[in-house]
């Protein structure tokens, strides 16, 4: 298609009028235009900043990180836990909305579902026709098409090529057997039970069968509606299924972070040199050099306190995971050779104990 210069100039003028937000406040609002739940967002929404700080404080004194890597893991766990809580709140609101919609607009929603399913009839006629027959609203959708075909046959006597194709689709006839007229009934021996000579009679015969089918599946539809109203199922809502997938992914990430911590810390509190990232003071340039005041003499601190100041954390990644009783005391270094020897002695003691137990059991059996 050839575009004239006038059209190009008009397009440029229209594009100049629609450049998006320019101020920082407008850009911040536009970033949340597509935000539905925030479970997969890389950052938390601004209103959760205080909640993140409160939760981080709780997790720091629960998990007691001892390295910078552990501190980062605790930060990740904090955000993941908040997203899990938010997902539960969203699920609760979604369930309430589904129950209310089932109470007020169940029939309208099911008719819309039948329309969406019927739009795929041409591509998968057999599958879609059977799926429509499973709900009363799907049966009504099929009956409406057959009614229009019956009226067309009464007026014109025959169906057009498009109407014949629609009749084959409604019957779910395979493409290999679409020769002749649609609607002939066959038994399992391949003999014709009802002919398809009269198109109007074929359409009314299908309408009568669909009416019986609608009555049969109406009770099942009432059960489904009652389950949704009572909040006893989540199969009918795709948003709930999506939330389940997001929550499963979040729990997987939470388990990974907890596994990276490797062991339950035997310490009472976090290392004094580690503080949460949000609690660290902002560095500013000093206005003037201030000389420190001389410290007053204080009595000697206890030996335990002096050792705690000089404590160096052992290697967080030794050749094996340390048990809580194997972690060295503050001020002591990790002796890998001693730990391995102690474990070997313990293993041999267990082997000897099992041998002694088997020996006693054999003697008891011989004595009996």
Q: How far is it, in rounded angstroms, from Cα 152 to Cα 160?
A: 9
Residues 126-164 have pLDDT tens digits of 999 999 999 999 999 999 999 999 999 999 888 999 999
| Residues linked to residue 186 through DSSP beta bridges, in sequence order | 192
Q: Is residue 57 part of a domain?
A: yes
Q: Is residue 331 part of a domain?
A: no
pLDDT reported for residue 185: 83
**Is residue 214 located within the same domain as residue 132?**
yes
**Is residue 227 located within the same domain as residue 161?**
yes
DSSP characters over 249-281: HHHHHHHHHHHHT-S----SS--TT---GGGSP
Residues 298-331 have pLDDT tens digits of 554 444 343 344 444 444 445 556 777 777 777 7
Q: Which domain holds residue 72?
A: 46-104+237-274
Q: Is residue 261 part of a domain?
A: yes
**Is residue 244 located within the same domain as residue 229?**
no
Q: Is residue 221 part of a domain?
A: yes
Pick from 233, 263, 287: which residue ends a domain? 233
Q: Is residue 282 part of a domain?
A: no
**Is residue 63 located within the same domain as residue 132?**
no
The whole-model pTM stands at 0.55
**Is residue 61 located within the same domain as residue 203?**
no
Pick from 219, 252, 274: which residue ends a domain? 274
**Is residue 200 located within the same domain as residue 127?**
yes
Query: Where would I find the beta strands (DSSP E) of 280-319?
Result: none
**Which of 84-88, 116-120, 294-298, 310-314 is predicted least confidently?**
310-314
Domain tally for the chain?
A: 2
Reported as half-sphere exposure (CB side, CA atoms, 13 A), residue 164 has a value of 15
């Amino acid at each position: 298609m050839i575009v004239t210069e006038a059209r190009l100039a008009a397009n440029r003028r229209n594009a100049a009028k629609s450049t998006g937000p320019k101020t920082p406040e407008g850009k911040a609002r536009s970033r949340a235009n597509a935000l539905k739940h925030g479970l997969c967002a890389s950052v938390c929404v601004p209103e959760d900043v205080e909640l993140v700080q409160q939760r981080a404080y709780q997790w720091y004194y629960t998990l007691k990180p001892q390295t910078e890597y552990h501190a980062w893991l605790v930060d990740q766990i904090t955000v993941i836990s908040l997203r899990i809580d938010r997902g539960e709140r969203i699920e609760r609101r979604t369930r309430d909305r589904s129950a209310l919609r089932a109470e007020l607009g169940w029939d309208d929603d099911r008719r819309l579902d039948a329309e969406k399913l019927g739009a795929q009839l041409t591509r998968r006629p057999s599958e879609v026709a059977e799926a429509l027959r499973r709900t009363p609203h799907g049966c009504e959708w099929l009956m409406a098409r057959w009614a229009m075909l019956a009226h067309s046959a009464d007026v014109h006597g025959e169906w057009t090529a498009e109407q014949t194709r629609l009749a084959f689709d409604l019957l779910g006839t395979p493409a290999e057997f679409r020769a002749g007229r649609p609607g002939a009934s066959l038994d399992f021996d391949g003999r014709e039970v009802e002919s398809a000579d009269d198109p109007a009679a074929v359409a009314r015969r299908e309408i009568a069968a669909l009416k019986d089918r609608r009555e049969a599946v109406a009770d099942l539809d009432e059960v489904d509606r009652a389950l949704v109203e009572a909040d006893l199922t989540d199969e009918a809502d795709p948003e709930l299924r999506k939330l389940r997938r997001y929550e499963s992914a979040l729990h997987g990430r939470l388990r990974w972070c907890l596994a990276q911590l490797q062991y339950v810390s035997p310490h009472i509190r976090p290392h004094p040199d580690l503080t949460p990232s949000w609690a660290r003071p902002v560095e500013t340039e000093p206005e003037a050099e201030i000389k420190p005041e001389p410290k007053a003499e204080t009595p000697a601190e206890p030996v335990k306190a002096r050792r705690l100041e000089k404590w160096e954390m052992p290697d967080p990644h030794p050749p094996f995971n340390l048990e809580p009783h194997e972690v060295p005391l503050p001020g002591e270094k990790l002796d890998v050779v001693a730990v391995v020897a102690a474990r070997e002695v313990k293993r041999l003691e267990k082997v000897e104990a099992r041998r002694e137990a088997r020996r006693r059991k054999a003697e008891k059996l011989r004595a009996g």
